[in-house]
Amino acid sequence: MSKKFEPIKFDIQHFAEEGEKTFTQEEVNDIVKSRIADEKRKKDAEIATLKSAHESEIEAKTKEINQLNESLSSFQDSEKALKKIQKEKDGIESQLNEYIQKEETDAWHTKLKEKGVKEERFEAFTKLFGDEERNDENLDKLVEQYPEWLNKQEETPPPIGAGFDNNVPPSSNDPFLKALNSND
């Protein structure tokens, strides 16, 4: 069994010795309010002291944060500028590569022309060789292999007077006929 204790109500003033001062409820409330206000002032003073003690640290950290933000902003600006320059560089390299490729192709076409390759076959000859394989030796081999891709050598014109006694028709390149047909 458990016992229940009931609180006993009593008047504290009853135990006070005579001659001692007694307080009214209002006076007790004022004393409590005063002590609470004193404690609050003490706590506020402690907070102010701690705050002022750490204020310089807070300012230093704030400056550090601001510097880091500025550095980050500067870094981001630099990164954007770097990307822009890289893009421009890539564009210029691409143009340079196109120019070099065009120059190499033109040089190759000149070689093909010198070997007598028909112009409509330049692209075919170009595709048959990689950049490293474009040399005179390989070109000579291909010319031998595909003679039909070459311009036919112009036939030498018949001698002057051809067609009179030797049954060779006169050529339009015959200088004698050209002289006869000129109106000068």
What residues pair up with 150 in beta bridges, in sequence order? 117
Q: Which residues of the chain have pLDDT under 50?
A: none
* Per-residue confidence (pLDDT) for residue 136, from 0 to 100: 77
Please check whether residue 100 is in contact with residue 124, taking contact to mean a CB–CB distance below 8 angstroms. Answer: no
Q: Which residues neighbour 175 within 8 Å (Cβ) at sequence distance 6 or greater? A: 160
Task: Locate the domains of the chain by residue range.
Answer: 24-154
* Residue 135 DSSP symbol: S
pTM of the model: 0.40
Cβ pair 170, 158 in contact under 8 A: yes
Residue 147 Ramachandran class (φ > 0 left, ψ -120 to 50 alpha, else beta): alpha
Which of these, 111, 100, 117, lies nearest to 133 by C-alpha position? Answer: 111
Please tell me the distance from the alpha carbon of residue 180 to that of residue 184, in angstroms, as a whole number: 9
